[in-house]
Structure 1
Amino acid sequence: MLPRLLLCTLLGLSAPATSFAQEPTSHLDRVLERGLLRVCTTGDYKPYSYLRDDGRYEGIDISLVESLAQSLGVRVKWIDTTWKSLMADFQGQECDIAVGGISVSLERQKKAFFSQPLSVDGKVPLVRCQDLSRYQTLEQINQPSVRLIEPPGGTNEIFARNRLPNANLTLFADNVKIFDQLLAKHADVMITDASEARFQQRHKPGLCAVQPERYLQYSEKAFLLPRDDMAWKSYVDQWLHLTKATGAYDQVVNQWIGDKQ
């Protein structure tokens, strides 16, 4: 009787250990095991992430995350999201990483990790060039007569509501066509990141970034990573460090933004 009891006890103890040993312990292990990197992105934020008419993504962060996947020897699976649903989609769909010009914020940090910063950025006004002198300061913009326009759910809307409560705010869900609202004089000012303001200034004649070197609010951009997974974060950070050290990062950025002019 005793040997049989001892055998059952040993089997009971060994089963969980075997199951645990087979369970991948990190997103790094899971990505390698699947041969697939699942990437959340909005596809509406040039120059970082843009979904083309042919169904392909392009942009700074798109090229970078494709390079990350190549370093792992895996394929990329794109998962479309919006700024309003970014965090819920990121957690609910179990993405391994989210990219696309994502600003670091303490609210997001409460629910996820960030990679090391990709770049420093900051909020600036984007306006029609003919109105450049009218919207130089927050005081000039924070008026009931000023028609402010922002995409819903992101840090631009948060900034507008917190810092420009008196302006006439409209939320416009199409983050690609939103700039045409300024040119068509349906809105006066859009607060956005200096990098996006510079990009639109170069590609949409008639729009000008207001003092893009003087941020209204400092921010950084980074990749969004699952919380409490230091092995995965360490790999992404080390890959990013080497990408910057070799100059590969600057090559990608310069293809889209070039020098800051």
Structure 2
Amino acid sequence: MSKVKKIVSFLFLSLLVVTVLSGCKGESVANEDIATRIKAEPVITWGVKYDTRLFGMMDIKTREVEGFDIDIAKAITKEILGKDGKAEFVEVTSKTRIPLLKNGNIDAIIATMTITEDRKKQVDFSDIYFDAGQSLLVKKGSHIKDIKDLTSNDTVLAVKGSTSTINIRKHAPDAKILELENYAEAFTALQSGQGQAMTTDNAILLGMASENDDYQLTGGTFTNEPYGIAINKGQDAFLKEVNTALRKMHDNGTYNQIFEKWFPKDAEGRAEKGAQF
């Protein structure tokens, strides 16, 4: 064998070994028992949104993500791991959150994620931690007062990978749909006139309306969209700890305090509705 062939063969075998080892490492991380690991290393890594006002939004000044989901994740971490426990956050989108969870990059998803039967085939969900429902955001003075007002002349803006598109097709089959990468892009498209309405869960739309006086929610909710914390299948012990923490937070008033912090206008009569235990 020539010297060149030997070098090529050596490089090929080296690359093969690295690839195999990397694959094994990724697989081991994804299959690692989280409940056992966090006892030795008191850190829980949460997948959260960075673009969803009131739930998960990056503060440009502090460079920290803030919101209802963030505070709930921190409180759960404290309940499970104690005062020395640390909550770390990784940005996810509607498209990337499940792949990141399945690959072991994050331990759990708390990112305005609706519990659905299809998603249950891929992940397990905690108890409901927030009751939401799909609604419409429109410019004030819009002719759209209700979901029934959407016609073939109207374009509804939604986010890729969410359940919103499916629900619009069901409740307003004649309306056109334009899907964007994230909520910020969808709202920008609404402002620029690319659509007549934006749709997603009412909680997310409330955050947008609270910062933009020219826009409002209309028609109430037309679906039931309960939020759950997604955890990879096979992590039963960790799932149990999360549910136990949520119950304790409800019983000791921590949940209601967080709810009232982010939804003060809706606190009366909605704090109890926000989660079901």
Question: After superposition, where does 1:13-24 map in structure 2 within 5 Å?
Answer: none
Gaps of 5+ in 2: 1-30, 268-277
Map of 2:90 onto structure 1:
79
Q: 1:13-60, CA deviations, whole angstroms, 9 ceiling, x for partnerless residues? A: xxxxxxxxxxx9842111222222111123122211112324311100
Map of 1:169 onto structure 2:
177
**Equivalents in 2 of 1:74, 1:36: separation in Å?**
6
Map of 1:155 onto structure 2:
163
Gaps of 5+ in 1: 1-23
Specify which of 241, 246, 250 is matched with residue 240 of structure 1: 246
**Equivalents in 2 of 1:92, 1:229: separation in Å?**
13
Query: How many residues in Structure 1 have an aligned counterpart in Structure 2?
Result: 233
Q: Does 1:45 align with 2:57?
A: no
Q: Does 1:138 align with 2:144?
A: no
State the Cα distance separating 1:245 from its structure 2 match.
Answer: 1.5
Question: After superposition, where does 1:1-261 map in structure 2 within 5 Å?
Answer: 26-53=33-60, 54-71=62-79, 72=81, 73-131=84-142, 134-141=143-150, 143-212=151-220, 215-260=221-266
Q: Any idea what SS the aligned residue of 1:101 has?
A: coil
| 1:240–1:168 CA distance, 2 compared to 1 (3 A) | same
**Equivalents in 1 of 2:93, 2:202: separation in Å?**
21
Q: Any idea what SS the aligned residue of 2:239 has?
A: helix
Aligned partners of 1:32 and 1:74 also within 8 Å: no
Q: 1:150-185, CA deviations, whole angstroms, 9 ceiling, x for partnerless residues? A: 111112233234443422211222412432432333
**Equivalents in 2 of 1:174, 1:230: separation in Å?**
31
State the Cα distance separating 1:65 from its structure 2 match.
Answer: 0.8
State the Cα distance separating 1:207 from its structure 2 match.
Answer: 0.8
**Equivalents in 2 of 1:247, 1:35: separation in Å?**
24
State the Cα distance separating 1:236 from its structure 2 match.
Answer: 0.7
Normalization by structure 1: what TM-score?
0.81
**Equivalents in 2 of 1:87, 1:164: separation in Å?**
28
Aligned partners of 1:183 and 1:206 also within 8 Å: no
Paired amino acid for 2:121:
K
| Identity level (%) | 15
Aligned partners of 1:126 and 1:208 also within 8 Å: yes
**Equivalents in 2 of 1:41, 1:162: separation in Å?**
28
Aligned partners of 2:52 and 2:207 also within 8 Å: no
Q: Any idea what SS the aligned residue of 2:266 has?
A: coil
Aligned partners of 1:183 and 1:207 also within 8 Å: no
More divergent stretch after superposition (193-202 vs 58-67):
193-202
**Equivalents in 1 of 2:204, 2:58: separation in Å?**
16
Q: 1:164-212, CA deviations, whole angstroms, 9 ceiling, x for partnerless residues? A: 3422211222412432432333321111112122222222101111133
Q: Any idea what SS the aligned residue of 1:217 has?
A: coil
Normalization by structure 2: what TM-score?
0.77
Q: Any idea what SS the aligned residue of 1:103 has?
A: coil
**Equivalents in 2 of 1:209, 1:31: separation in Å?**
41
Paired amino acid for 2:86:
R
**Equivalents in 2 of 1:181, 1:35: separation in Å?**
42
